Amino acid sequence: MTGGPGTVLVLGEALVDLVPVVGPEGAPGMWRAQPGGAPANVAVGLARLGTPTVFAGGLGDDGFARIVEEWLGSAGVGTGLCARSSAPTALAVADPGPDGNSYHFHLRDTATFRLPDLTAQDLSGFGAVYVGGLAAVVEPAAGAVAAAARAAAGHGLLVVDPNVRGDDAAVLRRLCAAAHVVKASDEDLARLWPGTEPEKSARALADEGRLVVLTRGALGAAAFLPSGGSVSVRAVPVEVVNTIGAGDSFMAGVLAWLGTAGLLRRGGPEGLGAQGASRMLAYAAGVAATVCARGDGAVPARGPRGFSIAWEAGGGATVGS
């Protein structure tokens, strides 16, 4: 199952986030079940931004799995490559705080990390293959992710979004080494290459022929170009309600912009100049800002007219949906 040169294959986990609902006096009262998982968030975000997307993950047969599959399908994400089993869906209990979100995971013996074996699939039919999230480091999913990444790197555009959570830096460094595009936060690069400034690590990755996108929270984002040089944009100022899914929405914005620009293919990002990189970052920052401002989901909303961001010559972005 392939979708054409403008289609993105997203490989990884789709799980359920349990997000606290604040009670009338400010104390958590209940937890809301919300479909999520970084790769699934990226897939839904891409589809809502108009990019043809196929998701390859593991789906169970419990009520949570039905919520996840309906969420993917309603966004227009293809699920024909997903593996199916009778195991339960993984849960991530969110604990938002002033310095960001922390999670407590329930992952063992779940359908979520029983990913399909894509080594027999012709991945050359996709414009890009995205890997990241917990599936990149949690077995048995990690083996399937590594194999698919190797296959994708030989045919098309491999996009890696490392998310360091434990003693998994070596695995993620290998994925970054195979990638053509790396999107990472400053915290992730600091954990992957401790003792080195994230900007220096990003520059080193880019000097090997990659497009590297570095997110820095409220400080904005930067793109390090494979042709040399870098550009940066400010974060879009919004009143933040919740940051869950902001990084995933930013990633979806980057890939959606590359697709619209015709760069979602092997070698495409090599032609990305400074002006294009600035536009790409501004678009992605605007997508992430809408998610932070809404606080009712981890992916961009899709209105009757779709989602659009108009670039302004002054260096800002006007966000609309």
CA 108 distance to own-chain centroid: 23
Specify the 3-state DSSP secondary structure of 184: strand
Q: Report H helices in the chain.
A: 38-48, 63-75, 141-153, 169-178, 186-192, 198-206, 246-260, 274-294
User: What is the predicted pLDDT for the residue at 318?
Assistant: 37
CA 235 distance to own-chain centroid: 18
pLDDT band at 166 (very low <50, low <70, confident <90, very high): confident
User: What is the predicted pLDDT for the residue at 2?
Assistant: 59
Does residue 316 register a pLDDT over 50?
no
Looking at residues 122-136, what average pLDDT do you find?
92
pTM score:
0.88
Give the C-alpha separation, 38 to 40, whole Å: 6
What percent of the chain has pLDDT above 70?
A: 82
**Cis-peptide into 39, omega within 30 deg:** no
User: What is the predicted pLDDT for the residue at 254?
Assistant: 96
Looking at residues 72-76, what average pLDDT do you find?
96
Write out pLDDT tens, residues 94-113. Answer: 776 666 667 788 999 999 99
User: What is the predicted pLDDT for the residue at 303?
Assistant: 41
User: What is the predicted pLDDT for the residue at 100?
Assistant: 61
Q: Of residues 228 and 95, which shows the higher confidence score?
A: 228
Specify the 3-state DSSP secondary structure of 83: strand
| CATH topology classification for 4-320 | UDP-N-acetylmuramoyl-L-alanine:D-glutamate ligase (3.40.1190)
CB 248 within 8 A of CB 298: yes
pLDDT band at 115 (very low <50, low <70, confident <90, very high): very high
CA 115 distance to own-chain centroid: 17
User: What is the predicted pLDDT for the residue at 290?
Assistant: 80
pLDDT band at 309 (very low <50, low <70, confident <90, very high): very low
The answer for residues whose C-beta is within 8 angstroms of residue 101's C-beta and 6 or more apart is 94, 95, 243, 244
Alpha-carbon distances of 162 from 71, 168, 192, rounded to whole Å: 24, 10, 9
CA nearest to 252, candidates 77, 80, 121? 77
Write out pLDDT tens, residues 253-289. Answer: 999 999 999 999 888 898 899 999 999 999 999 888 8
User: What is the predicted pLDDT for the residue at 313?
Assistant: 32
Instruction: Give the mean pLDDT of the chain.
Output: 86
